[in-house]
């Protein structure tokens, strides 16, 4: 298991590095092809707002190229105060995040808001934290 975790940690770190330069302004709404998993549905639009005093952002990602076998590509990334929140899309189109992993909501924005509610002001750690 340590081997698996380590590989995931490295992959996640690489993904964060790759995206850190482009998250300044909210992008226009797009329907990027969900290239990651061959999804037949488009990604939800980007968003950028302050919710309960914290900046939440979301945007489609360009495929899952950097996810070589480790952390999966959700085809969409969400950030809370600039820290990526691990997000997953369910087969029925609902979403969960690592801080509310058993409770699907309808959109990435709803998952980001649920995370802010759950965090009660705490800082999110880059995933996986350990």
Partner 1 sequence: MTVRKNQASLTADEKRRFVAALLELKRSGRYDTFVTTHNAFILGDTDNGERTGHRSPSFLPWHRRFLLEFERALQSVDASVALPYWDWTVDRTARSSLWAPDFLGGTGRSRDGRVTDGPFAASAGNWPISVRVDGRTYLRRALGASVRQLPTPAEVESVLAMATYDMAPWNSASDGFRNHLEGWRGVNLHNRVHVWVGGQMATGVSPNDPVFWLHHAYVDKLWARWQRRHPGAAYLPASGTPDVVDLNETMKPWNDTSPADLLDHTAHYTFDTD
The CB-of-120 to partner 1 minimum distance in angstroms stands at 6
Number of residues that bind partner 1 (CB under 8 A): 35
Q: Which of residues 16-35 bind partner 1 (CB under 8 A)?
A: none
Which residues in the 40-69 window bind partner 1 by CB under 8 A? none
Contacts of 43 (CB under 8 A, 6+ apart): 30, 31, 32, 34, 60, 75, 76
Would you give the end-to-end CA distance of the chain in angstroms?
12
- For partner 1, give the closer residue by CB, 25 or 129: 129
Say how many C-beta atoms besides its own lie within 10 A of residue 73's C-beta.
Answer: 21
Q: Does 4 bind partner 1 (CB under 8 A)?
A: yes
Rule CB under 8 A: choose which of 99, 111, 112, 116 binds partner 1: 99
Strand 83-85 and strand 95-97: pairing? unpaired
- Give residues in contact with partner 1 (CB under 8 A): 1-2, 4-5, 8, 37-39, 70-72, 86, 88-92, 98-104, 118-120, 122-125, 127-130
């Amino acid at each position: 298991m340590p081997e698996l975790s380590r590989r995931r940690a490295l992959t996640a770190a690489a993904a964060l590095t790759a995206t850190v330069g482009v998250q300044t302004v909210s992008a226009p709404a797009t329907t990027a092809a969900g290239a990651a998993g061959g999804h037949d549905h488009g990604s939800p639009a980007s968003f950028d707002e302050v919710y309960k005093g914290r900046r939440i952002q979301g945007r489609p990602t360009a495929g899952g190229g950097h996810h070589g076998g480790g952390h999966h590509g959700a085809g969409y990334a969400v950030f809370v105060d600039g820290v990526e929140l691990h997000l997953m899309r369910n087969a029925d189109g609902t979403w969960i995040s690592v801080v509310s992993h058993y409770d699907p909501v309808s959109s990435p924005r709803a998952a980001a808001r649920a995370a802010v509610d759950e965090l009660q002001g705490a800082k999110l750690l880059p995933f996986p934290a350990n």
